[in-house]
Structure formats: structure tokens, C-alpha cells
Amino acid sequence: AQTVTQSQPEMSVQEAETVTLSCTYDTSENNYYLFWYKQPPSRQMILVIRQEAYKQQNATENRFSVNFQKAAKSFSLKISDSQLGDTAMYFCAFMKPNAGNMLTFGGGTRLMVKP
Amino acid sequence: DTGVSQDPRHKITKRGQNVTFRCDPISEHNRLYWYRQTLGQGPEFLTYFQNEAQLEKSRLLSDRFSAERPKGSFSTLEIQRTEQGDSAMYLCASSHSDSNNQPQHFGDGTRLSIL
């Protein structure tokens, strides 16, 4: 079974600054997908960024980028130029393909962007 | 694309009552997932369907829980003889199975409170 750990329950960052959220996972699989999801207060969960384990290049989506270290089983999310709208819970998730594609989530990090 | 729709948004009931939630996935999505999220935690997988077939059930899904997707479109999740521990947000997600890269799209969830 896979496990996902987010060691930072809460973080805060000043508007326009950069923040990095940590995620580690444990698996014996070689092929898998990793995701970061954002859940704003009282709103639905939306996908921020995804990474395929067989790709060495780190994924980037505008202000969001990841640092994927496969050997270390680490998958951190960097948010650049933080905006007030980035305030949310952030969940790291693992997916093993070809087995239903269900997601295993970490416990989440609550990010507060301060003006 | 109207997104994943869940009904009701909130449900308050007394312990011992039965409750039923509904999820309408994105129309072209053939996979539908149910997750449970307790306060301050990440979502936990409960079950998933591909078309009308229920292909996987978590050990979290006790015999008081039953899910259906009779025509491969909307799904219902029923909890019988509710207990205090059933209080949680129940999230539905959908995706298409044509690629492992397809992300899951989440609904707003149904928040269940057991008195």
C-alpha cells in the first residue's frame, strides 16, 4: 500500500513571495503519477499540477512548479509570486496507474497568503 | 461541461437514520469515485465505478455503506444506521479511463453531520 505524508500542517507566506510545500511518499511501484490538489475554503478540490514518475523533467504550470526527487520519494510544490487567492488547503496525492486510478492523499497543508 | 454535481450540499440527521447522497459526474466520464474527508484530513478512497460496475471497495466501506451506479451515469451512496463517526465530507470525483493521465474532477461534496 502507498502512503503519502505532508509534514507541514500549516504554512504562511507574504503576498508576492515564494513558498514551498513538502510531500513524501512511500511505494514499491516504479511507474506512478503524483498530483497536487488545491481545496479553497468551502470550495471544490481542483488540480494544480501533475507529474509522471517516468519523466525526469519537473512539471511546471505558470506560478506552480514541482521538485520531484524519485530516489528520495519526495514531491514538493513551489508557489512563486504568491497571491491571496492561493490561500487554501493543498493536498499531495499518489496514483498507481492501471489499478482503478484511485488517489491516495496526504493529510494536507493549510497555506495562508498574507497581504 | 457543467462539472461534477453533488446533492445535497449539507445533510444533518440523527444517529441511526439512513441517508442517501447523489453524484452526477461529468457526462463523458465513465469512471466515478467516492471519497470521505474528515475535518482537517485528506480524502480517503471509498469505492469506484467504471460505467455501472463497482470495481473496487475500500475496507473503510463497512456493510452499512452501499453505492450504486445503475445506468453508468449518476451514482448514489447510502449509509444505513448512521453513527457519529460517519460525520464527514463525502466527495465524488469522475474521470475518463482512456488514459492514465486523466485527472479526477471533484464535486463540491456533501457534508454529513450526525447529531
Per-position DSSP letters for B64-89, written without gaps between them: TEEEE-TTSS-EEEEESS--GGG-EE
Q: Please tell me which of the candidates A33, A91, A98 has its beta carbon nearest to residue B42.
A: A91
Residue A99 has pLDDT above 80, yes or no: no
Q: What is the mean pLDDT of residues B7-11?
A: 96
Q: How far is CA A25 from the centre of its chain?
A: 11
Residue B22 has pLDDT above 60, yes or no: yes
Q: Please tell me which of the candidates B45, B100, B108 has its beta carbon nearest to residue A102.
A: B45
- How far does chain A reach from its first CA to its final CA, in angstroms? 41
Q: What is the mean pLDDT of residues B46-73?
A: 92
Question: Which residues in chain A are contacts of B103 at CB distance < 8 A?
Answer: 35, 47, 50
Residue B15 has pLDDT above 90, yes or no: yes
Question: Which residues in chain B are contacts of A6 at CB distance < 8 A?
Answer: 42
Residue A62 or B99, more confident = A62
| Nearest of A110, A29, A50 to residue B104 by alpha carbon | A50
pLDDT at B14: 96
What is the residue-averaged pLDDT of chain B?
Answer: 92
Percentage of residues in chain B with pLDDT exceeding 90? Answer: 81
Point out the least confidently predicted range of A53-57, A68-72, B98-102, B105-109: B98-102
pLDDT band (50, 70, 90) for residue B1 = low
pLDDT at B40: 86
Contact, A49 vs A66, CB < 8 A? yes
Q: Are A100 and B103 in contact (CB < 8 Å)?
A: no
Q: What is the mean pLDDT of residues A30-57?
A: 92
pLDDT at A43: 82
Q: Give the number of beta-carbon pairs within 8 Å between A and B.
A: 59
Q: Which of B106, B108, B110, B111 to mutate to test the interface with A (most CBs of A within 10 A)?
A: B106
Give the burial string for B11-31 (b: 16+ CB within 10 Å, else e): bebeeeeebebebbbbeebbb
pLDDT at B101: 67
Residue A5 has pLDDT above 60, yes or no: yes
Residue B104 or B101, more confident = B104
Residue B88 has pLDDT above 70, yes or no: yes
User: For residues B14 and A21, what is the distance between their CA atoms, to the nearest angstrom?
Assistant: 39
Residue A18 has pLDDT above 80, yes or no: yes
| Nearest of A33, A34, A24, A48 to residue A111 by alpha carbon | A48
Contact, B114 vs B15, CB < 8 A? yes
pLDDT at A98: 77
Q: What is the mean pLDDT of residues A27-32?
A: 91
pLDDT at A42: 79
